[in-house]
Amino acid sequence: MMCKFSVEYVFGSLDKALAAELFDFWNLNQASYQAELKSFRSHGDLSEIEPLLSKQKVLKRQPGAIARNQEGSIVGVVFVVLRELEAHLNLGSHAYFQRMYVLPQARSSRLANQLYKKFLEGFIGSVELRDHRASTLMAENINPGLQEGFMRRYFARLGFTMLGSNRLGGEVWLLKLRNQFIF
């Protein structure tokens, strides 16, 4: 029997109720998320989560999209972090860095696909909500089980370009974003 779920785009619309729900979600699941990240790392320093990005502090972290089960509980989240980029990368001064986490018991390719597509569709269209300095969205695929041809074709169909592999074993993908300065 397939579990029903709903997916919603939430970037730029974080209210107190959703913030409280996400706080509870991460309180319950942060340890398993970090353990999973650690298990995927082939080598290197786990504290360096975004190895291509500068060591400067996160400028802003936001949820991008969430998935809920039929009871209404959050079972998955796509989140983005705005960071400064190292100048030698020639990718602009800032970028959004994206991650997705779905609870193990809720994982399915259908849910992951719908959650990610809902996020991308909304994020690409949210020019006025994004920081105008960021002209790229970067994604690191660290799950070795997903570093296969089907996943590479999936990212390419979504408009991403593979930058390569980093020293921690992840594949780094880049999507150019349209941006504009709004004042």
pLDDT for 93 equals 84
DSSP reduced 3-state for 32: helix
Cβ atoms within 10 Å of 148's Cβ, excluding its own: 12
Instruction: Report the predicted TM-score, pTM, of the whole model to 2 decimal places.
Output: 0.83
Residue 61 near residue 19 (C-beta atoms within 8 A): no
Tens of pLDDT, residues 115-170:
999 999 999 999 999 999 999 999 888 777 777 778 888 888 999 998 887 766 77
The label of the residue with tokens 């593979």 reads 162
Tens of pLDDT, residues 74-112:
999 999 999 988 877 778 889 999 999 999 999 998 999
CA–CA distance, 132 with 97 (Å, rounded to integer): 15
Residue 136 near residue 127 (C-beta atoms within 8 A): no
- Enumerate the domain spans of the chain: 5-176
Tens of pLDDT, residues 31-52:
888 888 777 765 444 444 444 4
Q: Which CATH superfamily is domain 5-176 in?
A: Gcn5-related N-acetyltransferase (GNAT) (3.40.630.30)
Q: Which residues fall within 8 angstroms of residue 26, CB to CB, at 6 or more apart?
A: 33
